[in-house]
Every structure is written in C-alpha cells, then in structure tokens.
Amino acid sequence: MGNKQTIFTDEQLDAYQDCTFFTRKEILRLHTRYHELAPNLVPMDYTNDPDCKVPIQLIINMPELMENPFKERIVESFSEAGDGNLSFNDFVDMFSVLSEMAPRELKAIYAFKIYDFNTDNFICKSDLEQTLNKLTREELTPEEVNLVCEKVIEEADLDGDGKLAFADFENMISRAPDFLSTFHIRI
Amino acid sequence: MSQQNRDGVWNPAYHHSETLEMDRGSPERSQHQNPYASEDFRPQWDGGPTGRGGPEVLPPYDMERGPWDTTETIPMRPLPSEQDFGERYPATSPQVRNGFDNQGFEWEPANENSLAPPGWQQNSLEGHQAYRQGGESSLRQRGVRKYSLFPTGTLSTSALERLGFKEDEFQDVLEEERQDLVRELAAMSSRDRVRAVRQLPMNLQEKDQIRKTVLLMKTSEKQRQEQNCCTDCSQNVSMSFRRCGASLSAVPQALQLWQGTLKEIGGRFGTSVLSYFLFLKWLLMFNIFSFLVNFSFITVPQLFDHEAKNTGTFRGLEILTGAGYFSNSVLYYGFYSNGTVSGGSASGNSTSGMPQYNMQLAYFFTIGAYLVLCCISLVYSAARSFRENFMLAGAVVGNAGRLLSSWDFSVVNEKAVRLKQDNLRTQLKESLAEKTNENLSLTFSQKLARFGIHVAGWLVSTGMAAGCCAGVYFLCCYNMNLINKSPASQSLTVEAGTLLLPVVVSLINLVIPLLYSLFKKVEPFTFPRHQIYALIIRNVLLKMSILAMLCYFWLEQVVENDNINCWETFVGQDIYRLIIVDFIFCLLGSFFGEFLHNVIGTKCLSGLGVPEFDIARNVLDLIYAQTLAWIGIFFSPLLPAIQIIKLFLIFYLKKVSLMQNCQPPKRSWRAAQMMTTFILLLFFPSFSGALSVVAFIVWRKAPSKSCGPFRGLAVPYDAVSQWMDSVDIDFQGSSWAVWIYNNLIKSVLFFLIITLLVLILIYLYWQIVAGRKVLIVLLQEQITNEGKDKTFLLEKIEKLKAQNSAQTALASGREAQRGGAEVSHHTGSRAFQRSRRRSQDRGSRGLERGGVSTVDQGSRSTGRGRMPEYEPRSRGRDTALPGYVQEGLGTTSMLGSEREYPGRTDYLQEDPYSQEDGTGPPVPSALVQALLARRQAEEEDEEEGY
C-alpha cells in the first residue's frame, strides 16, 4: 500500500478514476503492465507527470495485442500524435475504451477510427480492402475482395456517397449485437 | 503552350468570366433577370468597339456548342438566331479589351489561377463536411458529446489552413464548444458527470482538463453561494466518502472469480465459448446468493434448536442417494421444526429473554423472498440483455456486419486467430457463392418434401419426448410399488435401487439430444440459425416434459401414498439424486463426448476431427439442473449448496476438457443473441415452471402430518393466515397490516384490478413500440432520400466547377490571345488579378451551394441562414492565394476541369480563326457571352429555387 503512494498521488488516481472505466487498483495494475513494457523508459514515480512514451513496437508485442490483425491501427488510433507511441495516458485510454464497461457509442467511435486506415474520416473502399485482407490473411482473390467491399458499402452506405461515414458505421454497429462483447480486450 | 496562346487562341471561358465581371459591376440588379432580356443593357455593349463581321461568328460558335451541350445539362431557353445575336452584341466592353492588349502576358499563371479555386473549394467543402460530421455525429445523443469528435488528430493545423480556417478561428469554435460542454457538465449531478466525462470521445488529458475545469467551476460556485468555513470541511468529507465508495466498489472486482481463466478461454476460443462460462458463473453467483439466504434464515436458526437431533450413521452411499444419514438432516424439509426457536438452551421455551423465531414463517418467507428476488433479477437481466442485443437486430447483418464488427478483439491465441481468419474467409466465400446462385429457388414438390421432412422431424422428436416421459412415469410407479411392498426397508440394495430412476432420466437427457442432433443429417435448413433454434426447442421440450412428468408423479402419487411418512423429504431426496447423477453424467459426457471423440478423431478416424464445444447442449444442461434446483428449494433448502459445488466442479472440468480436447467453433455464433435466448429460456419454462410448482404446493397440497415446519396445517400457506390472525390479537397498533392483508392480499378483486391495469399498460407500450417502428422506417427512408439529395447536389457542384474552370481557362486563353497585340506588363497583371478575383467570387459562390447541399442537408431552409458563416472564411483565403493554388493543382481532385480541359485545348488548337488572324473572332465572343449570361441567370433561378 505504501508503494501505491509513490506511483500516483490521490488526485491523479481520482482523475483517472473519473475519466476512465477503471478502479484505482486497475489503474495501478495498468501502470505495472506499462512499466513492464519498458522498464528503462517508464519511471515508477508518476506523481509529477513525466513525459515518456513507449514506442509502438513494444506495445504491439503485448500478449493482448500481439496476434490482433489490427494491432498497429489500434495503437495508432489511441496515440495522441497518431504515430503509435503511447504515453501512459494513451495507454490507459486505450484499455478503458476496450474494457467491458465502455458504452457502445464510445466503442463505435474508436472502432471507426481503427478501421479508417487512411484517417480521412470515412471508411472508404481502400480501408475496407485493407480490413478484409487483415481479416482473411490476404488469401482472397482481388475480385472477391472487390466484390465483398462493394457489398459492404452497398449494405451500409445510407447516404449513397460510396463510402461509410461515421453515421453509417454507427448504424451498422447498432445492428450487430455482438460488437459490444467482441470489441473488448481483457487486460 | 504559351506559344500558342500568344498567337491568340480564342477562349470562350473568358466571356464567361466577363459576364461575371458584369454581375459584380451591377450588384443592385435583380439576380433572376436575364441580362439580355433587359433593354438598358444593350447600350453598354453597343458602346464597345465594333467592326467584326456577323458571319464570322457562326463556325466557332457551332463548334463550341458541341462540348458545352454534352457536358452541361442545365436547361436553356431557346436562343435567338445566331445571326441576330452577332449583330446585336458585336463586341466586348472596352474595359475588358484593355486588359488583353498585353503581348507578354503569360498563360500559365492565369490558367493555374482559374483552375485552382474549384479544387480548393472542394477541399474546403470536404473539410467542412468532415469537421461538421465529426462534431455532429457525436453530438446527437447526449448534449454532452458536443465536443468535436476529431478535435486535433485528423485536422492538423496545416490542413486547417488549407481549408480556409484561420487557426485561431477554429480554436475559437473549439473553445466555445468546450465552454458549452463544461457548463453542461457542471449542471449535472456528480454521478452523471463522472459517467459523462468517461464517455467523452477524447484523450485522457483533455478529459482531465475538462473535469478539472468543471470541478473548479463547481467549487467557485459553491464558495459564492455560501461563504462558510464548513464548505471546505464538507468537501473533504465528501471527497473521502467518494474515495471510500470507490474502494468499496473495487471489492466485488477483487472477488471476481476466475478472471484469468476466463481471459484465457476468451483468448483461445473467442467470445461465444466464453459466454457459456460466463453463464455458468452467473448461475453460480445466483446459487451462492440463494445458499446464503437459505442458510442464514432457515438453517442457522434450526441449528440452534437442540431438540431435533440426527441419529443416523454415515455410510458413504448417502452422498449419491441423499438418503440414510442425510434424510434426517438440515438438508431436507422434514428435519425442520414447526415451533418457535429461541436461542440458548431454553429449548423452545418462550420464557427465556431471547427473541422468538417462528420457523414456519421463516421457512415460508425465506423461500418466498428468495423466489421473488430470483424472479426480479431474472426479469432484469433478461430485459437488459434483450434490450442490448435485439435492439435493432431485426435487419439481418450481412457482409458489412461480419466484416467490420465481427472481429473478436479478445482472441489472443495465435492458432485461434489463424483459425478465425480461415473461418471468416470460408464464410465470405460461401456467402459470395450464395450471392451468385441466389436465384436457385425450390420447386413446389421440393418445398413440399422439405415441409414433410420438417413435420416428420417434429413428430419424431415429440414422439421420442412423449415416449421418454411415459417410460419415466412407469419407472416411477414401479419404484413406488417396491416401496409399498417393503416400506420400512433400510437395506443398501433398496437405497441403491432408488438410483435407478435418476440414472434413467440422465441417460435420456444424454442420449436423446445426441439423436436430435443427428436429425440435421436428413433435415435441410435454409439457415443454420433455424437449425440451432429447432434443436434448442426440441431439447427444451424433452427436458421440460420429463421434469413436468416427475412433478406430476411427486404431487399426485407420492403425496397420496401413506407408506411414505414424510413425502417432502422423499421428493427432496429424489431431486438430490437427480442433481448428483446429472453431474456424474456430465462428467461422463465430457469424457466420452469430448475426450474420446478427440482421441478417436486424431488417432484413428481423422475424418471425425477434433470436437467442437457444443455451447447449446451444455447451456441446456445447466438450465435443466438449475430448474431442478429451483423446484427442490422447497423440499431441500440447502440444495443450492450442492448446486454450488456442482457448478464449481463443472467449471474446471469443462475448462480442462475444452483446453485439451476441443477446437474453437467454426461457425460464427451469434453469442449475444444466443445468451439472451438462454436467459429467456431460463426464465420462461424453467423458472416460471418451478415457481408454479412451488406455489401449487404451498397453496394446495397438504404437508406431511409428522414432519417439517408445516406439520399439522391444512396447507403450508395457513401458517401465514394464522399468523395474521395472531397479529390482529397480539399487536393493537398493527391493524393496518391486517387490513392490508384482508382487503388486498386476500382479495381477488384487487389482483383483478392490478392485472387489468398491467394489461392496459402493456397495451399502451405496445402501441408506442408500434408507432416507433413506423417512425424508424420513415426516418430510414428519409436518410436514403437525403443521401440521394446529397449525391445529386454534389454532382451539380461538380458540373458547375467544371463549367467554371473551363470558362476561366477559356477566358485566360482569350486574355493571352489579346495580349498578343500590345506589350504592357502592368495591364496584364491587372487582368490576371481580375480573373483571379472572378474565379474566387465564383468559388465562394460554389461554396455557398456546398454549404447548403452537404453540410446542412438536413435543414435546407436554415442553410441559407448559415451561409455568411462560410463566406467570410472563403474570402479570407484571398490573401493566401498562391499557396493554395499550388495545393489545389497538386492535390485536389478538380475532376470536372481536368476532364474537360484537354478536349478544350484540342479544340482551341484547331480553331481556324485563331490560326488565320492573330486576333480571333470578336463576334462569337459576344454570342458566347450572351449564352453564358443566360445560363448563369438560369442557374441563379435554380439556386433561388432551393
């Protein structure tokens, strides 16, 4: 317990608790995990908000993310600069959104970001192709990929602009009840 | 290129810009008027230098009309004859002519300039759209989420500059939104606020800042309100309370069972298999709760009662049969006393100072409260899961859902990931194949055959269930006869003989579902989902009918049998045996079903393959066992303890079996919806059945004469009515309670009224739901219509842009052509600036339309009102022009202009007049001007129409 005080102040823990879906204990556990990623980089003492970031390579090698086909996109979506290097805040943020408690709307926003590979705020055909290739290990023929992507856009594109805006995406997600339980990483 | 231009290429686009120039020149003029229709207009044109012949007009105009007409669909009124045109408007205005007397005028910059604005315009349009989209989509549901969705990440500063936003302007907007958000948050209760802050789609630092601002605002408000020294103190207290509460809320999480195991299972087998284990865990929690309730309110008081003593000896077989030593213990109904229990050694004597504890009432109310609590929590979880999972699931999710929402992020095992990817690929391929031969419809005879097979399947399955029920019933009667023959026998063989019934029942439960699942080999289903549902319904039917048969036997045969001196205990023992044997069969089932299957599949018959974990069958087994436990709760209050042990062991057993023998399910399993179905099943036939059985016993069946808490009463419920009578006598002040009891609880009329009210309420809600469904359909139609509008307007913009760029390009060509005559750098640059201004003007007008069509497509009427907001921004761009010119050329998609331009240059190169005399024909220009002005007027008409 004495150890706890040296990592975060009470105010910090309150802030984390109010801003994420985690309890104090989980925040501390997350810190431990974060610290384990790069013991040389990450200080144990976070009371004065040290500015340190763990590089993307170390983060995507976490067992929780290692096998995920979207690992780079996940990490990039949550990094502040978009380069995938996560500060502790980004790290907590990521697992907070991916936790069980996060509501569907919040999850949908970040899922949209993850699937939006070229970050143009639309899921366009190229994004879908990349998604599909990641999901199927690039073993579909280009024609099949094309066909599936067209179908997806046809199904989900409500306003007919040939790409999926966030509203289209959210609407689609609301029809997929499993999304809430599958967009979830246990830490 | 510039060479040719200097030679004097005739450029019609120039004339278009010319008309624009005139528009600007006379702002008061009504926008809808065709300038050529007004008579005042003519002198202006006539005043210009003339002298170009009419006939020369025709050929270039004709040649030009082709491309215009193909690329342009804006309807035009019929023009006067070209001859007439040429004579009326023979020349351009002198002012314009001046500008093109520059020989050294460069084509390139003008070209770039004229092309750039459309590109820039599109860019900024998209920027607007993205920005608004970001803001609005998140804003919809909660007022709190007004904050921009993509505040800084995607719209970098440079991008913003390109879009025409001054950075500080953008910051202002953000800051404003932020202020709104903070105000809204400050108005909330602290609990809502925490929840709202957590759900903000922004990173942690921003959330923290907002939270701090809100807190600061709160405290300053408070200080203003009450300058009290206690404020600080109370704040500290509330803060520490909150921390305390937070640490308390962490306790259940620390207690969470099997966190690591569940993670491992989810990581290897995905969410669907995990849901079985979550269901198991949920049931376990349920049973722990009921055990705690029963143990503390029924068993613990009974243990204080020293009169009742267990005299049997423990032999070992009791663990299986539940008889013998156990039959006279706290495990069963028969052991509980009917008097009052008071603590200490004062054996049931009310004179000791200890409080009285009426066992009858305790038994009744504990069981009753437990069942009511179960009912509430079941209804709650079923409703919640229904709301979450069937919310909009009416429409079938096709490829889209599968592709973007199906990936299970919790899977972390490499092999599982690969398997999942393979499965997904196969499914996609299958669905593609289905799409291609979708038209394959069945003939009538095939349909009939299918229908026949289904009917046969249902008949056979129902017949099997009925046969099993009959078998179970006769077996029960046979057992009864044995007991009747030798009622007092306590021998081991008789005791072991009682195990026959549960073994048979469990065998039926094990074998028949397997037979049912064999049906799928002959029974064709269009959707695999239907197959699963049919299987589940048949299994539920089987299990429930067997249970119903057993209940009938207990309530009709056992109760009437005089040879059984305590029928409640007898039934309790039966249920105990059923549960224990079911557990043993569960062990055997996973051994034979999964382990042997795995061994045979991997070693001997590779065609058999590794077994999949059958979620439906396993969940149904759990539901069956839970139903037994609920029925048995009256006969054996400590049955939940047995259930706890059983579930605990099953968890580990299934986990080991799963890890060792099984592979992740191949088919995508709609886990969330299945879970809802299972909870509903647990509620509807299972719990409600058990509840009605217990209620029937309590209100209708006479309890045993010589054992149990209700001995001597006509029905168990009499305990309550007698108690109410005694309350009426003993406590004077509680007459209201008696009144309530007599007039409300006992009154049929009261329940009738309540039922009627509930029915009316249900009907109202039903109607509301129906109305909302209609509304949803309407809104969806509206969305599609808006989408169509949007595409239509976007096309329109594209066309206008194309037209603009072509015209400006032609204009600059004209400039260059004129520029061949005189050398004046100064005027050339003036012309350059003017044309730039024109195109910007045009661009900003295009933006207006963009603002109407794309940004505010939902409310077109307000779109006009918002225009000024965009206009200043676009004008503000004027200063930074060269930068975006480059950008526009380099990056943006000036689709229309690029498509059209090459053709135009071709034409320009071929223009015979430009080759002949270096000046080019002036009269055609007048004609084109007229034409373009007219078109413009019509455009404006259209614009006004919106």
Could you list the pLDDT tens digit for every one of the 187 residues in chain A?
Answer: 444 446 888 888 888 888 888 888 888 888 888 888 888 888 888 888 788 888 888 888 888 888 888 888 888 888 888 788 888 888 888 888 888 888 888 888 888 988 888 888 888 888 888 888 888 887 788 888 888 888 888 877 777 778 888 888 888 887 777 788 888 887 7
Tokens of B611: 């077994």
Query: By C-alpha distance, which of B101, B119, B116, B112 is closest to B831?
Result: B101
Q: Determine the pLDDT at residue B386.
A: 81
B403 CB within 8 Å of a chain A CB:
yes
- Per-residue pLDDT reduced to its tens digit, B456-512: 999 999 999 999 999 999 998 888 888 787 766 566 677 777 888 999 999 999 889
Q: Is the pLDDT of residue B860 over 70?
A: no
Q: Determine the pLDDT at residue B544.
A: 93
Q: Is the pLDDT of residue B149 over 50?
A: no
Q: Determine the pLDDT at residue B145.
A: 37
What letter represents residue B189's amino acid? Answer: S
CA–CA–CA angle B12, B16, B18 (5° rounding) = 110
Q: Verify whether the Cβ–Cβ distance B404 to A184 is below 8 Å.
A: no
Quote the mean pLDDT of chain B.
Answer: 69
Q: Which residue has the higher pLDDT, B786 or B761?
A: B761
Cβ proximity of B169 and B870 under 8 Å: no
Considering only alpha carbons, which residue of chain A is nearest residue B385? A177
The reply to whether the predicted model has a pTM over 0.90 is no
Q: Which H or E element spans position B341? A: strand B340-341
Task: Report the Cα B246 to chain-centroid distance in Å.
Answer: 29
Q: Which of A25, A70, A120 sits opposite B250 (nearest CB)?
A: A25
Name the least confident of A128-142, B107-121, B414-428.
B107-121
Q: Verify whether the Cβ–Cβ distance B794 to A161 is below 8 Å.
A: yes
B301 φ, ψ to 5°?
A: -60, -35
Section B841-860 average pLDDT: 42
Q: Determine the pLDDT at residue A14.
A: 84
Question: Strand locations in B207-366, DSSP E?
Answer: 340-341, 357-358
Closest approach of chain A CAs to the CA of B776, in angstroms? 12
Report the C-alpha gap between A141 and B609 in whole angstroms: 28
Q: Determine the pLDDT at residue B905.
A: 40
Q: Verify whether the Cβ–Cβ distance A96 to B198 is below 8 Å.
A: yes
B159 CB within 8 Å of a chain A CB:
no
A169 CB within 8 Å of a chain B CB:
yes
- Per-residue pLDDT reduced to its tens digit, B637-652: 889 999 999 999 999 9
Give the pLDDT band (50/70/90) at residue B436. low
Report the C-alpha gap between B366 and B385 in whole angstroms: 28
Q: Determine the pLDDT at residue B650.
A: 93
Residue B409 with chain A: CB contacts under 8 Å: 68, 70, 98, 182-185
- Who contacts B822 (Cβ-Cβ below 8 Å, separation ≥6)? B101, B102, B103
Residue A9 with chain B: CB contacts under 8 Å: none
Report the C-alpha gap between B674 and B661 in whole angstroms: 23
Tokens of B889: 């050329």
Q: Is the pLDDT of residue B401 over 70?
A: no
Report the C-alpha gap between B321 and B577 in whole angstroms: 5
Other beta carbons less than 10 A from residue B715's beta carbon:
15
A27 CB within 8 Å of a chain B CB:
no
What letter represents residue B687's amino acid? Answer: F
Q: Determine the pLDDT at residue B234.
A: 65
Give me the count of residues in chain A: 187
A51 CB within 8 Å of a chain B CB:
no
Q: Is the pLDDT of residue B913 over 50?
A: no
Residue A112 with chain B: CB contacts under 8 Å: none
Q: Determine the pLDDT at residue B228.
A: 57
Q: Which residue has the higher pLDDT, B143 or B325?
A: B325
Q: Which residue has the higher pLDDT, A97 or B220?
A: A97
CA–CA–CA angle B544, B549, B552 (5° rounding) = 125
Report the C-alpha gap between B91 and B359 in whole angstroms: 114
Q: Verify whether the Cβ–Cβ distance B253 to A24 is below 8 Å.
A: no
Q: Verify whether the Cβ–Cβ distance B425 to A167 is below 8 Å.
A: no
* Segment 101-120 of chain A within 8 Å of chain B by CB: 102-103, 105-106, 109-111, 115, 119-120
Q: Which of A148, A184, A185 sits opposite B428 (nearest CB)?
A: A148
Name the least confident of A66-70, A148-152, B143-147, B293-297.
B143-147
- Per-residue pLDDT reduced to its tens digit, B15-38: 443 333 333 333 344 344 444 444
Report the C-alpha gap between A97 and B142 in whole angstroms: 18
A125 CB within 8 Å of a chain B CB:
no
Give the pLDDT band (50/70/90) at residue B75. very low
Residue A70 with chain B: CB contacts under 8 Å: 407, 409
Query: By C-alpha distance, which of B36, B42, B56, B22 is closest to B924?
Result: B56
Section B876-901 average pLDDT: 39
* Ranges B45-54, B140-149, B392-401, most confident: B392-401
Considering only alpha carbons, which residue of chain B is nearest residue A83? B153
Q: Determine the pLDDT at residue B437.
A: 57
Could you tell me how many CB contacts below 8 A there are between chain A and chain B?
229
Q: Which residue has the higher pLDDT, B852 or B804?
A: B804
Section B181-195 average pLDDT: 80
DSSP 8-state assignment for residue B878: G
Q: Determine the pLDDT at residue B398.
A: 58
B429 CB within 8 Å of a chain A CB:
yes
Helices (H) then strands (E): counts for chain B: 38, 2
Residue A110 with chain B: CB contacts under 8 Å: 201
Tokens of B361: 């009432």
Q: Verify whether the Cβ–Cβ distance A181 to B154 is below 8 Å.
A: no
Interface mutation vs chain B, best among A90, A171, A178, most B CBs within 10 Å: A178
Cβ proximity of A57 and B409 under 8 Å: no
Q: Determine the pLDDT at residue B667.
A: 66
- Per-residue pLDDT reduced to its tens digit, A98-130: 888 888 888 888 889 888 888 888 888 888 888
Residue A185 with chain B: CB contacts under 8 Å: 409-410
